[in-house]
């Protein structure tokens, strides 16, 4: 019996090691071919590797060419693996093979395919290897619109220390149920992950406008989540991580993925320790109603005190108005100082690298001005100033809640919590309890701002740093409750007016001096680029094949400084404080042949375009333009899809087209137009050497040719 158990244990370990070796070996095999462009030689090898692996595992697959769309075209192919389940639900795993692809992505998807193929599962599992990120995703989204499904888009650049979840885009939010299932399954599988509580709010208010691979699926109404992460700094076993991820997928697909009538998109994510708590819209509404109901009930019971607060607020409303205007002016001044700071440091187009520093600068400037303003409050000879500031904090907190919840309901949980804390601040008698309530009232706002700065939400950060007048006014209204609470605690105390004056002035001037010294030191010592964060320089070579003249444009977001370019036989040395310089260059060594043959039959004219190059261009752009806006170009047939817009026709050709390239277009015999052919390279077909301290170059070559097709009438 013992011998049998030992043999079984040995067999189990052998099988486990074989699976582990398979995943790690796949990464080793695939890594040299990434990054890969669609339909490139690297992408074709990856495609062949996937098919060979699936065939060896006896897993059926379908290969779909990506040339079926009317508004786009690719020479690449998708590979789809469909594994039927016992239920009627569908789980899709989309894996990019081209621009967003990586060896870890592909190896993990193959591991999932082999695991699910060897066991029974509830969901129908569909694993799709996208040959072209955009077009492949678009075709897949059209196939999935008929049925209910949940989709995962994998975008791992290596074995990550932490998995990040993207749960929305600029128009849609991933429904609560899928996020909640994900949270539970990831925790069970013991994978380290991050949900980023502030993410959905930023998406819902449109503050992350940058395009995402998830856009196509969410816009098509497909419940989707993107899982991404960079290669981890801490080495960990690839096989153990893959095994944990497979257990996550196995646990997720067993849950009910179909019957979700209420696809709640207004949910609140709260992180406490290592645990995420997700509250649906229903619970947020209950919380809102309970808090507002409790405050109303208290007001009814203490109507005299409430009337006193309202009376003091209305009687001294000029203090509220004056404070709002002062805060608005302070924010406006801090905006001007920030812009001046960027101009002096020449970082006006490189502000993204110092977002926390710029936000801190604005906050400190506003804080210094506010501290210098505090002595003026002692001039307001009013009774019960403490009650006035407490009541004003409550009333302005209610005003904030109404304004910002009207902008977006996603703010409900934040402002309801803040109102509750401000209310307890107002009714509390002890000073230390008031201080605790003030700190708690801004807890979630501070956490969200921290997440915004380090997300980073560039659009929102840009709005905060380069604030418009309306943005500064919103900010002034937003912080009013916190200002009034601060004045109530730290200023309305039994101290003499002279001491208040002296204390405020000393603190204000001390902070101002420290801020000035730190800013001067920062400006003097700051160097935006180093060996780990190098300056990007775009080098664009443009050559007109008709006029035999060319230019080399070197451009960066920061001043170019000193660098050198060896462009074929030419040497170009640059020493410039400008961000853009242009040089005339000789004709590139690349041999290019562009010509067209025209034939006529009855009322039709057929034009065959031929393009031949010695190297391998990344993409061709062919456009037809009519002589005038009144004339229209009529396309009767074309070997590639096209788009007709006003007096221009653009053809969708796709990347890494075969060479020599041919395009056949049929028009009516009277069509007159000019054709423009642009041939684009991202890898120079000749020697191109770039050198510069802490700089790196992104070169590109554009060759252009024009052909005219005019008929005599």
CATH number at residue 642: 2.60.40.290
| CATH code of residue 230 | 3.40.630.10
615: pLDDT strictly greater than 80: no
Helix (H, G, I), strand (E, B) or coil at 546: coil
Return the structure tokens found at 252: 């997720």
Asked, for residue 695, whether it belongs to a domain, the answer is: yes
What pLDDT was estimated at residue 152?
94
Return the structure tokens found at 458: 């560039």
Whole-prediction pTM: 0.82
Asked, for residue 287, whether it belongs to a domain, the answer is: no
Residues 467 and 508 in one domain: yes
574: pLDDT strictly greater than 60: yes
Return the structure tokens found at 345: 């440091």
Asked, for residue 496, whether it belongs to a domain, the answer is: yes
Residues 461 and 322 in one domain: yes
Helix (H, G, I), strand (E, B) or coil at 554: strand
Pairing of strands 150-156, 223-229: parallel
How many beta carbons lie within 10 A of that of residue 606, not counting itself? Answer: 15
Residues 503 and 556 in one domain: no
Residues 509 and 557 in one domain: no
Residues 90 and 6 in one domain: yes
Rg over CA atoms, the chain: 32
Residues 449 and 345 in one domain: yes
Among the listed residues 553, 663, 526, 549, the one whose alpha carbon sits nearest the alpha carbon of residue 608: 663
9: pLDDT strictly greater than 50: no
> Is residue 437 packed enough to be buried (19+ CB in 10 Å), middle (13-18) or exposed (0-12)?
buried
Residue given tokens 């409790």 in the structure block: 294
Asked, for residue 326, whether it belongs to a domain, the answer is: yes
Range of the domain at 338: 292-525
What pLDDT was estimated at residue 290?
92
Residue finishing a domain among 258, 279, 300: 279
* Cross-strand bridge partners of residue 650: 623, 643
Residues 26 and 168 in one domain: yes
510: pLDDT strictly greater than 80: no
Asked, for residue 286, whether it belongs to a domain, the answer is: no
Asked, for residue 284, whether it belongs to a domain, the answer is: no
Residues 617 and 650 in one domain: yes
- pLDDT, one tens digit per residue, over 346-390 is 677 677 777 777 777 787 788 777 777 777 766 665 545 778 888
Return the structure tokens found at 126: 């569909």
Residue finishing a domain among 525, 550, 581: 525
Residues 471 and 573 in one domain: no
Average pLDDT over residues 569-598: 82
Among the listed residues 698, 686, 675, 688, the one whose alpha carbon sits nearest the alpha carbon of residue 627: 675
SS3 content of the chain, % helix, strand, coil (to 5): 45, 25, 30
Residues 549 and 499 in one domain: no
Straight-line distance from the first to the last Cα atom of the chain, in angstroms, rounded to the nearest whole number: 98
Asked, for residue 75, whether it belongs to a domain, the answer is: yes
Residues 364 and 500 in one domain: yes
Per the model's pLDDT, the better-predicted residue between 544 and 11 turns out to be 544
Mean pLDDT value across the chain: 81
Q: How many domains does the chain have?
A: 3
Distances (CA, A) of 187 to 163, 181, 247, 251, 287: 12, 10, 11, 11, 27
Average pLDDT over residues 9-37: 65
Return the minimum-mean-pLDDT range out of 152-161, 326-335, 460-469.
460-469
| Contact in structure between 401 and 416 (CB atoms under 8 Å) | yes
What pLDDT was estimated at residue 85?
84
Among the listed residues 208, 212, 218, the one whose alpha carbon sits nearest the alpha carbon of residue 134: 212
455: pLDDT strictly greater than 70: no
What pLDDT was estimated at residue 595?
85
Residues 235 and 303 in one domain: no
Return the minimum-mean-pLDDT range out of 149-158, 191-200, 488-497, 701-710.
488-497
Asked, for residue 530, whether it belongs to a domain, the answer is: no
Per the model's pLDDT, the better-predicted residue between 457 and 140 turns out to be 140
What pLDDT was estimated at residue 514?
67
Average pLDDT over residues 468-489: 85
- pLDDT, one tens digit per residue, over 244-294 is 999 999 999 888 777 676 567 778 888 777 788 888 888 888 998 999 999
> Rounded to whole angstroms, how far apart are CA atoms 153 and 227?
6
Residue finishing a domain among 525, 544, 566: 525
């Amino acid at each position: 019996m013992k011998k049998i158990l030992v043999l079984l244990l040995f067999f189990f370990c052998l099988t486990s090691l074989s699976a582990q070796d398979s995943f790690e070996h796949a990464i080793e095999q695939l890594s040299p071919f990434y990054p890969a462009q669609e339909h490139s030689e690297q992408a074709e090898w990856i495609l062949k590797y996937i098919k060979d692996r699936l065939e060896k595992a006896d897993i059926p697959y379908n290969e779909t060419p990506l040339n079926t769309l009317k508004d786009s075209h690719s020479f690449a192919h998708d590979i789809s693996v469909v594994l039927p389940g016992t239920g009627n639900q569908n789980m899709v795993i989309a894996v990019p093979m081209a621009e967003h692809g990586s060896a870890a992505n592909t190896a993990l998807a193959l591991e999932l395919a082999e695991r699910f193929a060897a066991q029974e599962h509830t969901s129908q599992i569909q694993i799709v290897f996208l040959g072209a990120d955009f077009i492949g995703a678009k075709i897949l989204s059209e196939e999935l619109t008929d049925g209910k499904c949940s989709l995962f888009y994998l975008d791992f650049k290596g074995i990550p220390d932490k998995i990040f979840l993207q749960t929305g885009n600029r128009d849609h939010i991933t429904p609560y149920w899928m996020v909640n299932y994900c949270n539970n399954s990831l925790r069970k599988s013991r994978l380290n992950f991050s949900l980023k509580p502030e993410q959905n709010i930023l998406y819902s208010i449109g503050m992350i406008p940058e395009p995402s691979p998830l856009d196509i699926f969410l816009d098509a109404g497909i419940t989707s989540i993107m899982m991404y992460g960079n290669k981890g700094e801490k080495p960990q076993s690839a096989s153990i991580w893959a095994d944990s991820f497979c257990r996550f997928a196995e646990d997720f697909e067993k849950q009910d993925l179909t019957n979700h009538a209420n696809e709640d998109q207004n949910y609140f994510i709260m992180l406490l320790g290592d645990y995420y708590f997700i509250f649906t819209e229903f619970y947020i509404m209950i919380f809102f109603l309970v808090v507002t109901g409790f405050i109303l009930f208290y007001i009814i019971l203490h109507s005299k005190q409430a009337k006193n607060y309202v009376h003091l607020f209305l009687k001294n409303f000029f203090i509220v108005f004056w404070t709002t205007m002062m805060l608005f002016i302070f924010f406006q001044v801090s905006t001007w100082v920030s812009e001046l700071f960027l101009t002096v440091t020449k970082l006006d187009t490189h502000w993204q690298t110092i977002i926390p520093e710029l936000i801190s600068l604005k906050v400190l400037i506003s804080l210094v001005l506010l501290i210098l303003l505090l002595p003026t409050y002692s001039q307001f000879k009013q009774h019960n100033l403490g009650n006035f500031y407490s009541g004003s904090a409550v009333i302005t907190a209610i005003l904030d809640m109404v304004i910002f919840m009207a902008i977006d309901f996603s703010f409900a949980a934040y402002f309801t919590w803040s109102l509750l804390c401000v209310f307890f601040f107002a009714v509390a008698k002890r000073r230390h309890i008031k201080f605790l309530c003030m700190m708690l009232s801004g807890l979630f706002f501070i956490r969200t701002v921290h997440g915004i700065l380090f997300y980073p939400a560039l659009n929102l950060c840009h709005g905060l740093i380069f604030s418009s007048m309306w943005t500064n006014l919103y900010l002034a209204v937003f912080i009013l409750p916190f200002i009034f609470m601060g004045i109530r605690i730290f200023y309305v105390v039994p101290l003499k007016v002279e001491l208040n004056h002296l204390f405020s002035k000393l603190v204000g001037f001390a902070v101002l001096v420290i801020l000035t010294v730190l800013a001067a030191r920062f400006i003097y010592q700051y160097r935006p680029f180093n060996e780990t964060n190098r300056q990007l320089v775009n080098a664009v070579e443009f050559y007109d094949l008709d006029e035999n003249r060319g230019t080399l444009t070197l451009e960066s977001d920061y001043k170019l400084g000193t660098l050198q370019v060896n462009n074929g036989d030419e040497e170009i040395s640059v020493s410039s404080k400008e961000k853009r310089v242009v040089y005339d260059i000789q004709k590139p060594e690349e041999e290019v042949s562009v010509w067209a043959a025209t034939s006529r039959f009855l009322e039709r004219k057929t034009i065959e375009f031929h393009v031949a190059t010695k190297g391998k261009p990344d993409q061709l752009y062919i456009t037809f333009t009519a002589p005038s806006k009144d004339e229209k170009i009529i396309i009767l047939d074309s070997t590639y899809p096209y788009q007709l817009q006003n007096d221009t026709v653009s053809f969708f050709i796709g990347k890494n087209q075969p060479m020599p390239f041919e395009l056949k277009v049929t028009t009516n015999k009277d069509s007159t137009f000019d054709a423009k052919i642009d041939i684009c390279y991202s890898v120079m077909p000749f020697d191109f050497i770039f050198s510069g301290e802490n700089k790196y170059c992104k070169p590109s070559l554009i060759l252009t040719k024009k052909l005219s097709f005019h008929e005599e009438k």
